[in-house]
């Protein structure tokens, strides 16, 4: 865990216009990881499908708590919208899970808020092409141009040393987009999701390779958190 005196929540946006690329998987696994370290984590579900919210409902009561905010639930008479969306004062990480087919006007306020943006991409030609268009859209928004250098790609469901994996690496190099890590294609993510857990919270004998996959992602996030604290 990064230690710092003043609370300054790091806001992590997980986005890709393509459904099924792994946004909810990345969001829930990150939330579970930081909560397991004792951090105060908010999982902010911007997707009307509410998959992150559903995951949170499966989470066992005796495990580290994550506060869920379902941004798509209509507020009740007793709850104003701003109250419903309010972050706890002690929040360390806000992890934003976003919907597929998100439009540029919907994306721009999220980019403005976010300290960093993670784009999970599947290594198929169709997904790589769609991701290129999406990343270009993000990079050309005024919000990103004002604060560049905070976007990274995670290749998801990768079978290493395959042709599609090689193509993905070439594409990312050509765009000069930092390529953080690859998450392998494994039922560990499916099994963990069914229990409301992350891969860091299930039995280690089966997940060592997955924990290694997460390590550069976590290092990058922690380094940006330190930079944010130093700048504040």
Ligand X SMILES: Nc1ncnc2c1ncn2[C@@H]1O[C@H](COP(=O)(O)OP(=O)(O)O)[C@@H](O)[C@H]1O
222 in Cβ contact with 34 (< 8 Å): no
User: What is the nearest approach in angstroms of ligand X to the Cβ of residue 127?
Assistant: 10
Among 41, 183, 199, 221, interactor with ligand X by CB under 6 A: 183
Sign (positive or negative) of CA dihedral 207, 40, 216, 189: positive
C-beta atoms surrounding 82 within 10 Å: 8
Sites for ligand X among residues 48-87 (CB under 6 A): 51
Contact 34, 41 (CB under 8 A): yes
Determine contact, residues 45/85, Cβ cutoff 8 Å: no
Q: Is 130 helix (H, G, I), strand (E, B) or coil?
A: helix
| 23 contacts Mg ion (rule: CB under 5 A) | yes
Q: How far is the CB of 21 from Mg ion (least distance, A)?
A: 9
Question: In the set 10, 15, 17, 25, which binds ligand X (CB under 6 A)?
Answer: 25
Q: Does position 24 bind Mg ion by CB under 5 A?
A: yes
Report the distance separating Cα 154 and Cα 172, nearest Å: 10
Q: For Mg ion, which stretch binds (CB under 5 A), given 18-26, 68-76, 108-116, 224-232?
A: 18-26
Q: In whole angstroms, how close is the CB of 231 to Mg ion at the nearest point?
A: 31
216 binding ligand X? (CB under 6 A):
no
Partner whose footprint covers residue 68, from Mg ion, ligand X, none (CB < 5 to 8 Å by kind) = none
């Amino acid at each position: 865990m990064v230690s710092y005196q003043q609370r300054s929540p790091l806001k992590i946006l997980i986005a890709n216009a393509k459904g099924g690329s792994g946004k909810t998987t990345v969001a829930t696994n990150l939330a579970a990881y930081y909560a397991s370290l004792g951090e105060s984590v908010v999982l902010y579900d911007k997707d009307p499908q509410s998959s992150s919210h559903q995951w949170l409902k499966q989470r066992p009561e005796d495990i580290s708590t994550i506060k869920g905010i379902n941004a798509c639930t209509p507020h009740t008479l007793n709850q104003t919208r701003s109250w419903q969306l309010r972050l706890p004062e002690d929040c360390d990480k806000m992890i934003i899970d976003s919907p597929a087919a998100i439009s540029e006007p919907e994306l721009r306020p999220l980019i403005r808020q976010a300290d960093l943006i993670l784009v999970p991409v599947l290594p198929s030609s169709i997904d790589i092409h769609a991701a290129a268009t999406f990343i270009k859209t993000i990079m050309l928004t005024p919000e990103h141009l004002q604060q560049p250098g905070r976007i990274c790609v995670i290749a998801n469901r990768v079978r290493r040393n395959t042709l599609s994996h090689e193509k993905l690496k070439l594409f990312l190099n050509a765009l000069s987009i930092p390529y953080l890590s690859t998450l392998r294609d494994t039922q560990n993510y499916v099994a963990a999701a069914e229990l409301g857990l992350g891969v860091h919270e299930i039995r280690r004998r089966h997940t060592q390779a997955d924990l290694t996959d997460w390590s550069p992602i976590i290092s990058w996030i922690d380094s940006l958190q330190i930079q944010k604290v130093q700048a504040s």
